Amino acid sequence: MAGFFSMEGPFVKYGTLLFDMIILSAVWALMGGILPVMILLSTGVLGMIPPVVGLILIFICLLHWAPATCAVCYTMGKKQRGTDTYTMRDFWHAYKTNYKQCILLGLFITIVVCVILYNIWLIINNQASFGSGTYVILPLEGLVGIEFIFISLYVPALVARFEMKTKDFFKYGFLMANKHLLTTIVLAALFVGAVYVCLMVNMGLLFVIPGLYMYIATALLERVFKNYMPSEDEELEEEELEGFSLDAERQAIINRYMNQTQYDSEGEYRYVKVDESGHDVVEEDDYKIVRADEETKALPENEEKPSQEADSEENP
């Protein structure tokens, strides 16, 4: 029983996770614009301003769903991977770092979805004007709307996990959403269920359900993202190719004392191919950069490298 309540026990582990979900749900609702909109609607402030101004104000508030969701995905992703997390610090870091990009992504997705919903409403209420074209245009509008909703389930998590150009997030979000369709459907079902519970069961669950949903969604998305990330063996191989492995550093030291290295202006040393006379036979672009050691950095820029003969005298 003592182990159950210990610092490493399940009570503390899951209790901390639940507390983090509550904190992140509240911060997401506030920074994502949900709470500000609820306050505007409940206090009657919108009735005292022109309707157009009120709609613009609501739109601006709800536009922040993307950076807030990205920040929660970033924090929950670190928890899923078992890395050290500081809930609020991680949230603010991701929110500020990805704010501009998320706002642009959220603006585009929100506008497209709103236009599609308006078009669907317009078609349904004017079926006589569209005639038989209704049965063609309406499914197309619905399909495009569903695709953008699917993309919006991936984009915030992609921004939190990867660094790409803004347009690439749409491309990879579209590809992942359709390639991993089962995961996408599960995410969509969870999202609809979360919205239903918050709106129809109890609004107080708004301070728990969003964090719970994003924790589960992040776990599913992490499994998807692993298919597009290099394995640990590939990363180690890449590090060796870049010259940052232990073997590369050892080889660099050997080459240094065999007069097969060259110093640059910053004190780093590089692999250099030399002929029998000791002259370089490769161009600058062919150098392989190797991590500099402290002894090399300590050499002044204008100090000449010791010759091979001097090294051989010092190291018989």
pLDDT per position as a tens digit, 285-296? 444 444 444 444
Q: How far apart are CA 284 and CA 272, in angstroms?
A: 9
Of 277 and 178, more confident = 178
3-state helix, strand, coil in the chain (%, to 5): 75, 5, 20
pTM: 0.69
Instruction: Show Cβ contacts of residue 102 under 8 Å, excluding neighbours closer than 6 positions.
Output: 66, 67, 69, 70, 156, 159
* Segment 218-250, tens digit of pLDDT: 999 999 998 887 654 455 445 444 444 455 555
DSSP string, 211-239: HHHHHHHHHHHHHHHGGGS--HHHHHHHH
Q: What is the pLDDT of residue 220?
A: 94
**Total length of the chain:** 316
* Segment 133-157, tens digit of pLDDT: 788 888 888 898 899 999 999 999 9
Q: What is the pLDDT of residue 13?
A: 76
Q: What is the pLDDT of residue 125?
A: 84
152 within 8 A of 86, measured Cβ to Cβ: no
